[in-house]
Structure 1
Amino acid sequence: MEFIPIYYKDSLTIINENAHIGVVTLWSHKQAVIDKFKESGVDLSKTNSPIAVFGTLYGNGLKHLLANLLYNPQITHVLICGRNTGESLQLLLNFFGKGVEKVVNIGVSCNRIIGTSKDLPEVLYPELFRNPPDVTYIGQETDPDFETQLQSYLKNLPNSFNKPDAVEPERVKIDLPEIAPSYFPSNPRSHTIIKGTPLEAWKELIFCLDRFGHMVELEPDKRRKELQNVKVIVEDPIEEDDVSLKPFGFSIAELKEYQCKVKHNIVEGDYTYGNRIRAYFNVDALTVCVGKLKKNPQDRRSYIVLWDPRTDLTETTRSSPCLATIFLRVYDGNLTLSATFRVHNAFDAWLKNLYALMAIQRHVTEHTCIPTGPITVISHSISLNPDEGYEKLQMVINQHGNFKFEADPNGQFRFRLENGQIVAEHIYNGETLKVYRSKKAERIQYELKRDRAISEIGHAIFIGRQLEKAQRCLLTGEAFKEDP
């Protein structure tokens, strides 16, 4: 049976296409291993060599290697020799030695190799191999006893087809599927969004939920994409016009109506936000906070709680507020507002609730004459139903492709070469904060990370490009010119 690779043909070195040994070099250079085989006297002729093929294995190529082995069952022995980096060696040994177990990763059902963190497509599992190959590791080609190990291996090599339980080899063709994750990997509790206006913040929130949210089943037939503890900061919480709002199903009139309802709806016995803030606990918390801030703008007790554990925690039949706390604080001369929500419906409720918080903040500003600042909203559980808001979702996703420069609030950098070193100058509002110098770009990279000097991912990528360019110019002697 002729060796015919169906994956990575150009990356393999085929020796004798009718032989039965496949050599895996792990992270070692293929040619270095081949040269060592030649030095050891191994026959590598196209007609007589017992070696069919040499190939590397970096981990991600394991599924392709296994698919090639299934299609070429005449490879009865897999000889592993090379530098083992990561878990490449263990992956191959465990696949045949321990098997796989069913798991779900990024919303996709797959087979995880037991004893490792490696996932394979569901179509790959050890039982597909009618005659599993013998897998042997003899060390790295640079080991002192490598030649002895290699010659001993080849001298004592049995033929798998002579085994009593061997069956007639048959090609098995596996088409490896494209991964279609239901969400993209991230820490689902780490997302922070910083935008200028309410609508821009809402659109970024929807995008993040769709891309990174995990599917959860809240109750039968009620599935949602959910993230936890999402933090959204709106730097300039101003009201927008209908031209901006209406394409996404909002109107300024409806949002203003909701603002009034939250501020003034204090019907006795009602659980609404207005009642919880201004009457429920026998105190008008908003009025008290205004008095505190007028008396002492640096007051840190202007903290409003809407959650009543006596009923909200114990009575499951009644409605409970989603808004849990509001904190009013003067920071850098401006009135900031921070709010926490127990749960949030991202499509319909998040923007409405933000507008309600804007009204509360403006009410305090009007009575204290303290200018408004940013609003921060933390949603402990925020979710959306992608089916119910499909048109809104697609509009947000399509608009997200519009690339726009966003300044890094941590400052900017200028780069130059000086006295045989790369110089990175950290600048904020035209003033130099710190100068980083090194002959190696990698050193400056680590120092910037240590100092948390970068906060915006686009800015980090730009800085990486400049450091790489400066390093290249330093080595070649060409003139360095910073990208605009």
Structure 2
Amino acid sequence: MERYYKPLYKPNQVFCGSGQTAIVTGWTLKSTVKKKLEEHEYGAIGQLYSATRGINFLVRNLLWNPHIRFLIVVNATREDKNSGAVQCLLNFFRQGFEDGESEEGVKCWKIKSKVLGYIDLEIPLENLQLLRESIKCHEATSITEAVTLAKELAELGEKPEWATPALFPLVENLPTVLPGQRYGHRIEGKTIAETWIKIIHRIKTTGVLRPTGYDGQVQELINLMAVVTDEPPEFFFPEPSYLPIDRDFLEQYIPQILEDAPYHEGIKYTYGQRMRSWFGRDQIEQVIAKLINEIDAASAVINLWDSGCGNLFQRPDSSSDHEHSGSPCLTNIWVRVVDGEISLTATFRSNDMFGAWPANAMGLRALQRYIRDAIAQRSKYNLTMGPLVTLSQSAHLYDDTFETADRVIAAHYDRICNSRDYFDPAGNFVIELTSDEHGEKILVTQIPGSGKAVSYYSGVNAVKLVREIAAASPAIQTEHIGYLGVELQKAAQCLKTQTTYTQDL
């Protein structure tokens, strides 16, 4: 009797067949494995990117499909080693699990693995134990090995179901969305860790809820600019760290940005490969040479999007990134030098701001420093490190991170905002009462970091003065303009009552 795999969770991310073997391909493209197998030779084929976000769904789907008797886990790529997701899954079957807590302090089943992986307590211990005992787990280190093993297992004949289907629904908590602008956002922080907290707070507060093609929802802001001004060379990890990555992960990830990698069928590109060789030339080296030759050039650009012909240098097909899934999220990089300072701006068409942005930002910062250092070694220019800027057309959080994001915000957002230094590029504003032949009035002097006054505003109406200042300095920080409104209203009241005004600093 044919029994097709029926995934309850993330069904559009799984290829379903009539066999008794589930294949988890990790970062290897699932379509590459599927096209080498007949439908009866597999029950399900899907990818696994994250241990903390993916194993929960997989376990639930396997408990609902007890005719699956074999599991093949493909552990083949640098990305698999880096994320550790497939290794954590293997450890679940090999080493088991125990009572524990997530990094946010939520009680759960914790997989016995160096790679963090959790399963919800809603699934009883006896069901998880039965799952581990009933499914035979195999590791494959290549596509060829996985396909060969799947074909061999299909020849063993049909085995009976090891249990009745068991359903364990997920508890969904949809966020409350406050009104806010849809397009165009700017967030700035000194470090990537600080900026990240501000980003997820902004998205969780005003981001729009949208369905995805991946069986879930995202909360999204469109066109979000994140500016990191002072990330240290060794990178800042808070103690205790609230970031979704650690230093070990970062050490494995940075080479994916800086280094080339050979093309293999079914293996996803790396950003380094796209920049170093995908189009038949090393774009990072081209940018370095461009800036050495013309230090103030506005054309030091790296392109990662393939319109359909560049990949002929790397792979036999000529498909465009418009024509297939798995196209790069990072699409362009600009490097600029202004007044001896080197900045890097990166554009993402789609950006998972919770799970991916911190690693993306640190990898790009490493690239920015690599280019700076190469220019210093090969020329007379010893540039200082300027800001890192990311432009995310779709800046989003996936629904399986909503609760974790809320806990991180609750634990750290207020402290980070309260520790700010109140520096505003728009400058300081000195408010005083003065008089001339027309009578008494409020005088506001704008003084930037240079200490020299650049503008004056005067009048008797606080609202008009606020509007005038905001129009002249549109980038003024929102907290700063709120402070000016309060102070100008105080000054206007002092004018009316003929009392002394003192600015509250």
TM-score bracket relative to the smaller structure: 0.5 to 0.7
Q: What is the match of residue 193 of structure 1?
A: 187
Q: 2:391 aligns with which of 378, 391, 394?
A: 378
AA of the residue aligned to 1:271: Y
Q: 1:388 aligns with which of 387, 398, 401?
A: 401
State the 1:315 CA deviation.
2.7
CA distance in 2, matches of 1:329, 1:382: 24
State the 1:446 CA deviation.
2.8
Q: What is the match of residue 151 of structure 1?
A: none
1:250 aligns with 2:271: no
1:282 aligns with 2:280: yes
Q: What is the match of residue 23 of structure 1?
A: none
Matches within 5 A, 1:38-187: 182-187=176-181
Deviations 1:1-58 (A, max 9, x none): xxxxxxxxxxxxxxxxxxxxxxxxxxxxxxxxxxxxxxxxxxxxxxxxxxxxxxxxxx
Tell me if structure 2 keeps the 8 A contact 1:307–1:324.
Answer: yes
AA of the residue aligned to 1:233: V
Q: 2:425 aligns with which of 402, 405, 409?
A: 409
Instruction: Give the secondary-structure state (helix, strand or coil) at the position aligned to 1:321.
Output: coil
Instruction: Give the secondary-structure state (helix, strand or coil) at the position aligned to 1:421.
Output: strand
Deviations 1:180-227 (A, max 9, x none): 973111112121101111111111111111111111111363111111
State the 1:444 CA deviation.
1.9
Instruction: Give the secondary-structure state (helix, strand or coil) at the position aligned to 2:242.
Output: helix
CA distance in 2, matches of 1:184, 1:331: 39
CA distance in 1, matches of 2:193, 2:240: 7
Q: 1:433 aligns with which of 440, 446, 454?
A: 454
Tell me if structure 2 keeps the 8 A contact 1:322–1:342.
Answer: yes
Deviations 1:388-419 (A, max 9, x none): 35234312233222324432111011111111
* Largest Rg, 1 or 2: 1
Q: 1:400 aligns with which of 399, 410, 413?
A: 413
Instruction: Give the secondary-structure state (helix, strand or coil) at the position aligned to 2:272.
Output: helix
CA distance in 1, matches of 2:345, 2:228: 10
Higher mean C-alpha displacement, 275-284 vs 182-191 = 182-191
Q: What is the match of residue 207 of structure 2?
A: 213
Tell me if structure 2 keeps the 8 A contact 1:271–1:320.
Answer: no
CA distance in 1, matches of 2:475, 2:390: 23
CA distance in 2, matches of 1:334, 1:483: 36
State the 1:474 CA deviation.
0.4
1:481 aligns with 2:475: no
Deviations 1:106-138 (A, max 9, x none): xxxxxxxxxxxxxxxxxxxxxxxxxxxxxxxxx
AA of the residue aligned to 1:396: I
Instruction: Give the secondary-structure state (helix, strand or coil) at the position aligned to 1:236.
Output: coil
AA of the residue aligned to 2:467: Y
Q: What is the match of residue 127 of structure 1?
A: none
1:330 aligns with 2:337: yes
**Which has the higher relative contact order, 1 or 2, with Cα contacts under 8 A spaced 6 or more apart?**
2
Runs of 4+ in 1 over 6 A off after TM superposition: none
Tell me if structure 1 keeps the 8 A contact 2:243–2:358.
Answer: no
**1:384–1:312 CA distance, 2 compared to 1 (3 A):** farther
Instruction: Give the secondary-structure state (helix, strand or coil) at the position aligned to 2:227.
Output: strand
Instruction: Give the secondary-structure state (helix, strand or coil) at the position aligned to 1:237.
Output: coil
Tell me if structure 2 keeps the 8 A contact 1:193–1:201.
Answer: yes
Tell me if structure 1 keeps the 8 A contact 2:354–2:401.
Answer: no
CA distance in 2, matches of 1:368, 1:340: 23
**1:338–1:243 CA distance, 2 compared to 1 (3 A):** closer
Instruction: Give the secondary-structure state (helix, strand or coil) at the position aligned to 1:275.
Output: helix
**1:220–1:364 CA distance, 2 compared to 1 (3 A):** closer
**1:362–1:422 CA distance, 2 compared to 1 (3 A):** same
Tell me if structure 2 keeps the 8 A contact 1:329–1:337.
Answer: yes
CA distance in 1, matches of 2:444, 2:408: 40
Q: 1:261 aligns with which of 246, 253, 256?
A: 256
Q: What is the match of residue 133 of structure 1?
A: none
State the 1:358 CA deviation.
0.9
RMSD of the TM alignment (CA)? 2.0
**1:242–1:463 CA distance, 2 compared to 1 (3 A):** closer
Tell me if structure 1 keeps the 8 A contact 2:177–2:204.
Answer: yes
Tell me if structure 1 keeps the 8 A contact 2:470–2:481.
Answer: no
**1:415–1:352 CA distance, 2 compared to 1 (3 A):** same
Instruction: Give the secondary-structure state (helix, strand or coil) at the position aligned to 2:401.
Output: coil
AA of the residue aligned to 1:341: F
CA distance in 1, matches of 2:385, 2:297: 16
Deviations 1:46-89 (A, max 9, x none): xxxxxxxxxxxxxxxxxxxxxxxxxxxxxxxxxxxxxxxxxxxx
State the 1:314 CA deviation.
4.0
Instruction: Give the secondary-structure state (helix, strand or coil) at the position aligned to 2:261.
Output: coil
State the 1:386 CA deviation.
4.2
**1:251–1:245 CA distance, 2 compared to 1 (3 A):** farther
TM-score, L = length of structure 2: 0.57
**1:333–1:220 CA distance, 2 compared to 1 (3 A):** closer
AA of the residue aligned to 1:198: I
Aligned length: 304
Matches within 5 A, 1:424-463: 424-429=444-449, 430-452=451-473, 455-463=476-484
1:342 aligns with 2:349: yes
AA of the residue aligned to 2:278: Y
State the 1:382 CA deviation.
1.8
Tell me if structure 2 keeps the 8 A contact 1:210–1:386.
Answer: no
Instruction: Give the secondary-structure state (helix, strand or coil) at the position aligned to 1:437.
Output: strand
Deviations 1:158-177 (A, max 9, x none): xxxxxxxxxxxxxxxxxxxx
Q: What is the match of residue 222 of structure 1?
A: 216
Tell me if structure 2 keeps the 8 A contact 1:209–1:383.
Answer: yes
CA distance in 1, matches of 2:335, 2:214: 39
Instruction: Give the secondary-structure state (helix, strand or coil) at the position aligned to 2:212.
Output: strand
Higher mean C-alpha displacement, 191-200 vs 440-449 = 440-449
Instruction: Give the secondary-structure state (helix, strand or coil) at the position aligned to 2:463.
Output: helix
1:321 aligns with 2:316: no
Tell me if structure 2 keeps the 8 A contact 1:197–1:236.
Answer: yes
